[in-house]
Amino acid sequence: MGLVIGIPKERDPYEYRVGMTPIGVELLTAQGHQCYVETRAGVGSGFSDTAYQDAGARLTYTPDEVFRRADLLLKVVRPTDQEVAWMKDGQTLMGLMFLVSAHESYHRALQDKGATIIAYELIQEADGRLPVLYPLSLIGGRLAVVTASHFMLNIKGGTGMLLGGIAGVPAATVLIVGAGVVGTTAADSFQRGGARVILMDQDLRALQTAQDRLGRQVTTMISYDFNLHSVCKYTDVFVGAVQVPGQRAPIVFTREMVRAMKPGSLIIDLSIDQGGCVETSRPTTHDDPIFVVDGVNHYCVPNMPGVVGRTATHAFLNAAWPFITQVVGEGLAAAVAASPALAEGVIMQGGALQRDLGR
């Protein structure tokens, strides 16, 4: 017997992604499952209600109906408090959860529902690769240069520097901490934009890999405190790209380092989904993305890829699809037994936490 699968409209501000595409609905329906899609759920990603109906979905017109009907919810970001209240007991949810940055009361609400949760960002291959998070990390890294270029403008409170400079005028200096997928992609994008890029990490092997990919145009350094203190004084843009899967991001950039930066310089904390790696960071939104501490602009929007909804939806679902079909086709127990990578993503089962959240 098929599952009832629910695809709600995302309610976070400026979140334009959707938990399943019409072609995905068509494939799931062909396998005997019933898909309920909330009306206008896919508009931000370029998918009309008609496209979902043509794929075999049933539309729902009240916000809570998908949550009441579904055995399995396919979301992008974690449910809001109101959506948790709409969930029925014993429901399974797949989405980007980042529970390490959620309050304990939120965890308890999900536990009280007896929820089973598969966190896309924690699905991890044996080699450490995070297959579903990977394309979103690429997008975040590329968006960093767009964000920096925009918020360096005078009219946005920036220093008025052109990122790549021009003949006779030096380029901006960009310091990136974290030589993983996000940081290396950001370094590549900033380098292509003409900036002077310094990439730091504690892992020498990660730096060597990045250097091999990016060439010697990017300067690499070990992220010792004394290196950070030295470089931050002439940094125009700092990008935090530190990630520890399943745990809060460590603070690598202190208030003292922020104070040492030039007035009007910019911090982009791409680790904010996991609590942030800058001591002065706090989450912001796309409609109010910037705050100032000690004269330094801070950009700390957790769902940066959410505003490139069509690209981001296709990108992460390309990666998530094999795991979704395993869960839907085999059942959770058999899917987890067959896929150690998927098992890493099961963060809650029947309301019981399956791993330390590293709080």
Q: Which residues pair with 175 in a beta bridge?
A: 198, 238
Q: Are residues 277 and 149 in the same domain?
A: yes
- Work out the average pLDDT over 100-129: 95
Whether residue 186 sits in one domain with residue 97: no
Give 202-261 pLDDT, tens digit per residue.
999 999 999 999 998 999 999 999 999 999 999 999 999 998 888 899 999 999 999 999
Q: What angle do CA 62, 66, 70 make, to 5 degrees?
A: 160
pLDDT digits 0-9 by tens, 335-354: 999 999 999 999 999 999 98
Identity of residue 92: T
The residues facing 293 across adjacent strands are 296
Do 48 and 70 fall into the same domain? yes
Contact between 186 and 239 under an 8 Å Cβ cutoff? The reply is: yes
> How many CA atoms within 13 Å lie on the side-chain side of 222?
7
Looking at the structure of the chain, the number of domains it has is 2
Residue 20 lies in a domain: yes
Looking at the structure, do residues 107 and 36 belong to the same domain, yes or no?
yes
Which residue range(s) make up the domain with 87?
Answer: 4-122+310-353
- Provide the pLDDT for residue 1: 67
Q: Which residue has the tokens 């069509």?
A: 310
Q: Do 141 and 62 share a structural domain? A: no
Q: Which residues contact 338 (CB under 8 A, 6 or more apart)?
A: 326, 330
Same domain, 301 and 315: no
* pLDDT of 357 higher than 60: yes
d(CA 85, CA 64): 9
Any domain includes 288:
yes
Residue 128 lies in a domain: no
Does 191 lie in the same domain as 102?
Answer: no
CB 352 within 8 A of CB 111: yes
Q: CA separation (Å) from 351 to 107, 205, 260?
A: 9, 39, 46
- For the record, the structure tokens of 259 come out as 């104070």
Q: Within a domain: residue 245?
A: yes
Residues 289 and 149 in one domain: yes
Give the C-alpha separation, 318 to 295, whole Å. 41
User: How far, in Å, CA of 50 to CA of 80, rounded?
Assistant: 27
Residue 358 lies in a domain: no
Q: Which of 302, 320, 251 is nearest to 102 (CA)?
A: 302
Mean pLDDT score of the chain, rounded to an integer? 96
Q: Across-strand partners of 150?
A: none
CA atoms within 13 A on the CB side of 164: 10
User: Same domain for 289 and 341?
Assistant: no
Instruction: Tell whether 359 is covered by a domain.
Output: no
Clarify whether residues 65 and 179 are in a common domain: no
Q: How confident is the model at residue 26 (pLDDT cuts 50, 70, 90)?
A: very high
Confidence of residue 358 (pLDDT cuts 50, 70, 90): low
- What is each CA distance from 197 to 139, 185, 248, in whole angstroms? 19, 12, 26
Calpha distance 181→142 (Å, rounded):
11
Residue 127 resides in a domain: no
Please answer whether residues 197 and 191 qualify as being in contact, where contact means their C-beta atoms are separated by less than 8 angstroms.
yes
> What average pLDDT does the segment 57-76 reach?
96
Output the domain CATH number for residue 348: 3.40.50.720
Q: What is the largest CA-CA distance in the chain?
A: 70
Asked if residue 68 and residue 151 are part of one domain, the reply reads no
- Mean pLDDT, range 187-206, rounded to an integer: 97
259 part of a folded domain: yes
23 and 54 inside one domain: yes
